[in-house]
Amino acid sequence: MKNSAKHLRSNNYYIIIIFAFAFTQYGCSKEEKPSKYVAKVNKSVLTEDDVKSALSEERNKGIYREEYINNWIQTEILFQEAANKGLLNDKEFKSLLDRTKKELASALFIRKIVDENKIEPTDDEVKKYFDNNKDDFKLVDDEYRFNEIQFNDYNKAVEFRNSLLETEWNRVLNQYRNDQSIIELQPQKLLLKYQIQPTPLLRVITTLGINEVSVVLETEPMKFTVVQLIEKIDKDFVPPLDMVKNEVKERLSIIKRNLYIKEYIDKLIADHNLEIERYSE
């Protein structure tokens, strides 16, 4: 039985293609003489520029330098052993490689045409989309805005808290700006209740009053945390556009890109009179 229709796959498929691209890039190596080696496995080398470039990519967000280097070394070792064992001549490998090349070429081409055509929503389009879909942005849980600071020294955390009880956040922070005991600093942090971790931190934040300062919490071994609640927003509240504008814009951008890609493919089919058939049992 034949079906002549061909539909654009969902955005998840696009993500899968990009992942395939990332995977193929991950295993790449260079044999030409680099300016500075970071790691080397036989003739395959990883350079300082390779590491900097890789760590700047979104897919490697949160990966530490040493972790990336170790992963690269492991991948090279396994790849070279697979090659030695004849896997590169394996029928299944060749079939997967051929399919991945098509997916990679498609993904790169999509990215190219999207970048060239600057498919981004205007402010008016963002506002209209938000006005028509406000319920989609309704809070699914209570939301908390708070200042958070973490120290590796308990006494420093106590000192900071005591100062914060007497004056406002930014003034105290200026006194500790270059303090080496600070592990992490996150002012104006905004999280839904279910996103707040670990549990002891959640318990404390949900009991604080506005502008109230917590006790010093050891949220992890040798990690001493102080938080100050700024604002609590109740569940089911629909935030104003300026609070969720980035989220609205991102969602609308995806919709516009997917629509553009579908229309582009439909035009290719019409312009080239492509014969497309799908078969089912």
Q: Are 262 and 270 in contact (CB under 8 A)?
A: no
Reported as a single tens digit per residue, the pLDDT across 224-261 is: 999 999 999 999 999 999 989 999 999 999 999 999 99
3-state DSSP call for residue 254? helix
Spatial distance between the Cα atoms of 139 and 126, rounded to a whole number of angstroms: 19
Which of the listed residues 117, 149, 184 is the one where a domain comes to its end? 117
Looking at residue 193, the DSSP 8-state letter turns out to be: G
Q: What is the extent of the structural domain holding 206?
A: 139-233
Spatial distance between the Cα atoms of 89 and 276, rounded to a whole number of angstroms: 32
CATH number at residue 145: 3.10.50.40
| In a shared domain, residues 199 and 220 | yes
Higher pLDDT, 272 or 3: 272
Q: Are 216 and 224 in contact (CB under 8 A)?
A: yes
How many domains does the structure of the chain reveal? 3
CB count within 10 Å of CB 21 equals: 19
| In a shared domain, residues 9 and 43 | yes
| In a shared domain, residues 130 and 96 | no
- Which residues 6+ apart lie within 8 Å of 216 measured at CB? 154, 157, 158, 161, 224, 225, 226
Q: What share of the chain in percent tops pLDDT 70?
A: 87
| DSSP strands (E only) in the chain | 2-3, 37-41, 44-47, 143-151, 182-192, 217-220, 223-233, 278-279
240 lies in a domain? no
Reported as a single tens digit per residue, the pLDDT across 176-220 is: 988 999 999 999 999 999 999 999 999 999 999 999 999 999 999
Q: Across the chain, how many H-helices and E-strands are there?
A: 9, 8
